[in-house]
């Protein structure tokens, strides 16, 4: 019967091999289940509907200078580091350059090199929005490249403005963008005509 591929070893039971095979099979099954649980569903991957627009201001990592973001809505509300929530706008983080960017955890220093401020529009109203950047504190002599991005995030992400501005020292204020929204919250136009916002906040502290 050997010519048909049968031999006496096929009847031998090897418990170690059988156990190993079952273990590998179980591991593969658990891995597949874990992967399916980790992978977000389309509903989970959607942007939070409470956020309509996100304005992001960044400057070089670990740079010591303090750059501030000012945003004005159509009703004249302004968010900045003293008033972080006004109208439908919210300043999520006031970044002060490298100040307090190092924390100690269990005796180990952890540094956050990112310089970034973010303003969220939780809702919209028709009219003009103004986005300014202000050089609050200067520790260097060279102009600082500041990147400003405005994104429509609901129902999907769309960049409506992106540019790099250069702040040249303490007190320097630049208008990054002015954009107009219609009744449906859609962008009608984007332009860069200068408008100072810091002077409008002097009595709002």
User: How many whole angstroms separate alpha carbon 82 and alpha carbon 117?
Assistant: 14
Give the pLDDT score at 34: 56
Residue 200 CA to residue 76 CA, distance in Å, equals 9
Q: What integer pLDDT is reported at residue 45 of this predicted model?
A: 40
pLDDT above 50 for 121 = yes
Q: Among 16-20, 103-107, 111-115, 158-162, name the most confident range.
A: 158-162
Report the distance separating Cα 176 and Cα 160, nearest Å.
12
Using alpha carbons, list the distances in angstroms from residue 197 to 37, 95, 123, 130, 192: 47, 19, 21, 9, 14
Mean pLDDT value across the chain: 81
Stronger pLDDT, 55 or 17, i.e. the higher one: 55
What whole-number percentage of the chain has pLDDT above 70?
A: 66
CA-closest candidate to residue 151, choices 84, 54, 72, 15: 54
The reported pLDDT for the residue numbered 5 is 39
122: tokens are 């939780």
Q: How far is Cα 154 from Cα 184, in angstroms, rounded to an integer?
A: 12
Q: Say yes or no to pLDDT of 48 above 70.
A: no
pLDDT at residue 40 greater than cutoff 90: no
CB 150 within 8 A of CB 160: yes
- Give me the pLDDT at residue 26, please: 65
| Strand ranges across the sheet with 89-93 | 85-86, 89-93, 115-121, 53-59, 144-152, 158-167
pLDDT at position 11 over 90? no
Is the pLDDT assigned to residue 56 strictly greater than 90?
yes
């Amino acid at each position: 019967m050997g010519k048909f591929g049968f031999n006496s070893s096929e009847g031998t039971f090897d418990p170690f091999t059988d156990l190993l095979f079952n273990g590998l099979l179980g591991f593969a099954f658990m891995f597949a289940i874990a992967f399916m649980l980790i992978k977000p569903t389309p509903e989970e991957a959607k942007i939070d509907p409470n956020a309509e627009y996100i304005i992001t201001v960044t400057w070089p990592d670990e740079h010591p200078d303090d750059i501030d973001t000012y945003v004005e809505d159509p009703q004249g509300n302004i968010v900045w580091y003293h008033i972080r929530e006004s109208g439908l706008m919210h300043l999520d983080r006031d970044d002060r350059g490298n100040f307090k960017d190092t924390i100690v955890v269990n005796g180990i220093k952890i540094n956050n090199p990112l310089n970034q401020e973010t303003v969220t529009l939780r809702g919209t109203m028709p009219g003009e929005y103004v986005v300014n950047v202000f050089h609050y504190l200067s520790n260097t002599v060279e102009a600082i490249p500041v990147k400003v991005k405005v994104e429509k995030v609901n129902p999907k992400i769309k960049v409506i403005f992106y540019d790099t501005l250069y702040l040249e020292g303490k007190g320097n204020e630049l208008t990054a963008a002015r954009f107009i929204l219609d009744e449906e919250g859609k962008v009608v136009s984007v332009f860069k005509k200068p408008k100072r916002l810091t002077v409008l906040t002097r009595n709002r502290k």
